[in-house]
Amino acid sequence: MSGSTDVDVVVVGAGVAGLTAATTLAPHRRVLVVSAGAGSTRWAQGGIAAAVGPGDTPEQHAADTLEAGAGACDPEAVAVLTTEGPGRVADLVAAGARFDRDAEGRLLLGREGGHGRRRILHASGDATGVEVARTLELRARELGVSWLDGRVTGLLVSRGRVVGVDVGGRQVRARAVVLATGGLGHAYPVTTNPTGVTGDGLALALLAGATLVDVEFVQFHPTALWTGAAYGQVPLVTEALRGEGAVLRDAGGEAFMQGRHPLADLAPRDVVARAVHEVMRRDATPYVLLDTRPVADLERRFPTVAAACRAHGVALASVPVTPAEHYLCGGVLTDGWGASDVPGLYAVGEVAATGVHGANRLASNSLLEGLVHGHRVATRLARELPASVVADAELCALAPATACSARARELLGGAGGLVRDGVGLADARRELLARPAPEVAWLVAAAVLGAADVRRESRGCHVRSDEPESRPWWRRRIGVRLDAAGVPRAAAEREEWAA
Ligand code: SIN
């Protein structure tokens, strides 16, 4: 293979984080976006949280983020997110994004779980992701960003540095590779994420020698539409509905969030998901009901939810909902500017662990993180690129999926679901480790189950029935790396989180 560099930077993924990085970098560097599909951004109903309303401040937004994160956020990273957020939202508006406004042109701000006030920008009610994607894709076209459709199936690594990507046999050399591949939804049986979001970025990073952290913190959205499906993507029923007065009820009509948390139906997402799970078990029902009668003008204000209900023959007034995998709070360990611990490899958005989400992401902080960290990694790479590497590179490639992937998904959905326990985790891991394979589903399941097994406490969205308390000793991260045999190994870090 030639030692020349084809582009300066390859961005893998075309969601909010990837396209923010690519469009910010394009005036300064030769950038190539490689994308296998639209990713999760388009599906985001809930919007962008940012302290842009009268009387709101980045400090108040940070306080809510830290509270939701259950003691596991990096306060400095949270301050960066909430302070830089309003500027990045302004950039998006300048690029043409149309957010919902009142008759006087003021931004209409919604409320979602864990937020102490109205702070969420939406577009077309519950179609925020579509507007964000439209704006950034248009900007990328205006700037002439190069684009390659395809799945990155391997990273090129030379002397411990990432120097390019393999796209189904076609190799592209670059001085920096930015992973912006989103989460791991389809590593689980049921998820709100679109098809194709399987955890590729996590697996590629592991194979290249990078460290993952916080991957036991998998967020289950409390209100996915119950469709009866045992596999695949299920529609989201946005939390913004509860922000406008919708109430969760059990089969007997009781509003069961009252008395469980001071914010009741607007408690942080982990609290609501746990309560829904408990009620479903207690009543032996596969769903609870979201009573939307208090929400005025629902069909006009929440067209995406209304269309999903219609498509599934569900009455809008009382929507059957159930928790489903939604978001990975951890990911590839990065510094505040997107760099992983492998030279040449960067990560932004859901695939990255910047420390802002801790053990439970605050609602609508994910599009914001994509904007802020997409911009940050671009700023860094515009300033300075890693040195060019001329030596031959080795290909660290994902193996094609086999039947083993389906089993890995079942094991992760069972033992790594909303409520976990040590026996289930150990059994699932034993079965997985009996057949190591560099397939995405296998690597991702082994990483998440390993980290969940090591964390012997409950915190945020990591809930263990055998360890129900949060413990001070566990105020530290769990890192996952591949061992010499290619098996993800999880271990607690020595250092504690900043208090
Ligand atoms: C929602 O609309 O409920 C989801 C928003 C998010 O995941 O932050």
For ligand 1, the distance from its centroid to the CA atom of residue 114, given in whole angstroms, is: 12
Q: 306 and 348, same structural domain?
A: no
CATH number of 460's domain: 1.20.58.100
Q: What is the per-residue pLDDT for 496?
A: 85
Q: Which domain holds residue 116?
A: 7-185+327-383
Which stretches of 233-348 are DSSP H helices? Answer: 240-243, 269-283, 298-301, 303-311
Which residue stretches of the chain have pLDDT < 50? Answer: 1-3
Whether residue 15 is contained in a domain is answered as: yes
For ligand 1, the distance from its centroid to the CA atom of residue 239, given in whole angstroms, is: 6
| Pair 86, 61: CB distance under 8 Å | no
Tokens read off for 109: 């701000």
Tokens read off for 27: 């005036």
Q: 285 and 171, same structural domain?
A: no
| Pair 75, 498: CB distance under 8 Å | yes
Whether residue 203 is contained in a domain is answered as: no
Q: What is the per-residue pLDDT for 436?
A: 83
Q: 151 and 16, same structural domain?
A: yes
Q: 51 and 169, same structural domain?
A: yes
Q: What is the per-residue pLDDT for 252?
A: 96
For ligand 1, the distance from its centroid to the CA atom of residue 238, given in whole angstroms, is: 6
In the residue annotation, 430 being an active-site residue is answered as no
Whether residue 346 is contained in a domain is answered as: yes
pTM reported for the whole predicted model: 0.96
| pLDDT, tens only, 174-187 | 999 999 999 999 99
Residue nearest to atom 4 of ligand 1 (CA): 46
- State the CB neighbour count (10 A cutoff) for residue 263: 17
Whether residue 422 is contained in a domain is answered as: yes
Question: Which of 364, 365, 371 to mutate for ligand 1's pocket (most ligand atoms within 8 Å of CB)?
Answer: 364
Return d(Cα 181, Cα 277) in angstroms, integer: 29
Q: What is the per-residue pLDDT for 427?
A: 97
Ligand 1 atom with minimal separation from the 326 CA: 7
Q: 116 and 87, same structural domain?
A: yes
Return d(Cα 78, Cα 423) in angstroms, integer: 35
Q: What is the per-residue pLDDT for 5?
A: 67
Ligand 1 atom with minimal separation from the 269 CA: 3
Ligand 1 atom with minimal separation from the 223 CA: 3
Q: What is the per-residue pLDDT for 1?
A: 40
Number of domains within the chain:
3
Q: 37 and 161, same structural domain?
A: yes
Return d(Cα 460, Cα 477) in angstroms, integer: 13
The one catalytic residue among 111, 119, 249, 269: 269
Q: Give the β-pairing of 476-482 and 212-213.
A: antiparallel
Q: 242 and 179, same structural domain?
A: no
For ligand 1, the distance from its centroid to the CA atom of residue 432, given in whole angstroms, is: 32
Pocket of ligand 1 (CB under 6 A): 45-46, 236, 238-240, 327, 363-364, 366
Q: 66 and 15, same structural domain?
A: yes
Q: What is the per-residue pLDDT for 4?
A: 58
